[in-house]
Amino acid sequence: MTPDEVKTKLIAMQDDPTMVTKSMYSPNATEYPDGQFPFVEIHLAYLRKNKLVNPAQYISNLAIMITKR
């Protein structure tokens, strides 16, 4: 899975109203309004930092965890 495919899937998850996607506050997030890291950037940063994580598996598990029931 390419980085562009990962970003596209994360954006689709963020735009899906059946999923709970929240931004996170970070004092280092100066380029974002109110210091909030967007949902997509949080997970892209995690995948960049943890190279051994399979992106397809990560996104699949993430979708299960954030789906509203």
The pTM is what? 0.83
Measured in whole angstroms, the distance separating CA 55 from the mean position of its chain's CA atoms is: 11
Residue 29 is predicted with a pLDDT of 65
Q: Residue 29: exposed, middle, or buried by beta-carbon count in 10 A (0-12, 13-18, 19+)?
A: middle
Local structure of 37: helix, strand or coil: strand
d(CA 53, CA 69): 27
**Helix spans in the chain (H):** 3-15, 39-49, 55-66
Q: What is the pLDDT along the chain (69 residues), one digit of tens a residue?
A: 888 999 999 999 999 999 988 888 877 666 777 778 888 988 999 999 999 999 999 999 999 999 987
Residue 38 is predicted with a pLDDT of 87
Residue 68 is predicted with a pLDDT of 84
Residue 61 is predicted with a pLDDT of 94
